[in-house]
Amino acid sequence: MTNVYDYAQNNRDRFLQQLIELVRIPSVGTDPARRADTLRAAEWIADDMRRIGLNNVAILPTEGNPAVYADWLEAGDQAPTVLIYAHYDVQPAELSDGWDSDPFEPTERNGVLYGRGIADDKSNVIITLKAAESLLASEEGCPVNLKFLFEGEEEGGSPNLPGFIRDYKDRLQADMAIIADGGLEKPDEPMIIYAMRGIVAFEVRITGPITDLHSGVHGGSVHNPAQVIAEMVAKLHNEDGSIAVPGFYDDVENLDDAERAEVQKSDMSQQEWDQNVGAPKDWGEPGYSLAERTGSRPTLEINGIYGGYIGDGFKTVIPSKAMAKISCRLVANQKPDKIYEMVTSYIRQIAPPTVHVEFQKHGDGAPIRVPLDSPIVQALSRAFKLHWTQEAAYKRTGGSIPIVAVLQDELNLPCVPLGFSLADSGIHGPNENYHVDMFHKGVDTTIRFLQEIAAASS
């Protein structure tokens, strides 16, 4: 038998091949046409779990895509039990979205692999499985009890997972949870995410005339829904970039000076912003740095807006309908339900009498915060110190993982997010990518992390 790090090193090519295999399965969780592929990804994971020696492997159904569960509880009663969460569903992708290669045929260019879901979140699925495999196959053995929970609906807002967690409360009981989804800013700077924004997402649908109308015959007598949606959306922000919905900022926790200064340290440089964003100029709530605006302040974004004819050529119509997809990022102590009420009633209030307004909610999740002095964060910090050249920086991230608040509140689990994709990995966009080096570094760091969790509790 070999040492755990030698095992990981000796098997690194196979591990990487497995990542490539999983990325080839187009598990777009929200696309009904990809349902079979999504199930195939769950099967692929369950097969690998069995192969590496996990027990009680099960594909557990939900109303939507199933969750994959497995455990290994042979480290003994004294050893801590660590729940590892990740998601195997990915965002949609089409070559025509601007990809330079087939999104579901991972392609390497200069040490970087391109493919949908490779960064978010399949690399972290494989990293945690391969860390477990290495520990289980090594002479040291695995020092902690493990429970894996890989879901297939995260990118759709995890609509069925809160109920699932309540149903399987006993099976999921653990001492702490690693949220294997997230990333780093730079390849050689370890980083611990200690806060994540919450989210509430919904659609607003505007209906005017009962059908699309000839814009010559009827133009001049109808308030055009495409115009109405534009007028309404324009009222959601103030001139200065702040959110115009009354009460929106009421519950927002303001950072104390010390934390503000800390957050400022990881502020993006203009050059980094240009590289990752590339718009002519930045924009946002006045009085806050880029890091604050993307980490510790709430936002309201128009994710999509649609109305009328946008196909080839021209069609002189007054559309019957128009709609916008809107999401708000929330920070402590904002409550998703309260914000949803507030924003939708404001939208109703500004809607003109010429249209009907309907809403459809698309899921939500509360903001989370991780206590820096919790044993799980301390163990991660030591793991980084042992495997990387620098101390970890602490950072707030702007993204959301809806289920984390549920794991914290319902299962009482101290959680920490951990992932090894980089800020420029282009998650959710075309040419999503992943640095091959980060994959191997991720496996080693995760092994060390689990060992440090065990060391701290013995």
The residues that touch ligand BES, with contacts defined as CB under 6 A, are: 120-121, 154-155, 157, 181-183, 199, 363, 397, 399-402
Orientation angle between helical segments 12-24 and 436-457, nearest 10 degrees: 110
Q: How far is the CB of 96 from ligand BES (least distance, A)?
A: 22
- 432 scored as a contact of Mn ion (CB under 5 A): no
Which among Mn ion, ligand BES, none contacts residue 399 (Cβ within 5 to 8 A by kind)?
ligand BES
- Cα(221)–Cα(6) distance, rounded to whole angstroms? 76
Closest to Mn ion by CB, 432 vs 452, is 432
Closest to ligand BES by CB, 10 vs 275, is 275
> Rule CB under 5 A: which of 83-122 touch Mn ion?
120-121
- Cα(371)–Cα(415) distance, rounded to whole angstroms? 9
Strand order in the sheet with 393-397: 368-369, 191-196, 393-397
- Looking at residue 235, its amino acid is K
Q: Is the dihedral of CA 62, 105, 91, 309 positive or negative?
A: negative
Q: By CB under 5 A, how many residues form the interface with Mn ion?
A: 3
Contact 189, 426 (CB under 8 A): no
Closest to Mn ion by CB, 18 vs 397, is 397
Q: How far is the CB of 157 from ligand BES (least distance, A)?
A: 4
Q: How far is the CB of 396 from ligand BES (least distance, A)?
A: 10
Which among ligand BES, Mn ion, none contacts residue 307 (Cβ within 5 to 8 A by kind)?
none
Q: How far is the CB of 330 from Mn ion (least distance, A)?
A: 17
Among 89, 133, 151, 181, binds Mn ion (CB under 5 A): 181
- Cα(175)–Cα(56) distance, rounded to whole angstroms? 19
Beta bridge pairs of residue 368: 196
Which among ligand BES, Mn ion, none contacts residue 64 (Cβ within 5 to 8 A by kind)?
none
Closest to ligand BES by CB, 106 vs 402, is 402
Closest to ligand BES by CB, 237 vs 329, is 329
Contact 193, 416 (CB under 8 A): yes
Which among ligand BES, Mn ion, none contacts residue 322 (Cβ within 5 to 8 A by kind)?
none
Q: How far is the CB of 42 from Mn ion (least distance, A)?
A: 16
Closest to Mn ion by CB, 87 vs 382, is 87
3-state class percentages of the chain: helix first, strand second, coil last, to nearest 5: 35, 25, 40
Closest to Mn ion by CB, 22 vs 144, is 22
Point out the residue whose Cβ comes nearest to ligand BES: 399
- Cα(13)–Cα(435) distance, rounded to whole angstroms? 14
CA distances from 425 to 110, 120, 428, 453 (A): 14, 9, 9, 29
Q: Are strands 393-397 and 198-207 parallel, antiparallel or unpaired?
A: unpaired
Q: DSSP 3-state assignment of 281?
A: coil
100: its two tokens: 């330079």
Q: How far is the CB of 199 from ligand BES (least distance, A)?
A: 5
Site residues, Mn ion (CB under 5 A): 120-121, 181
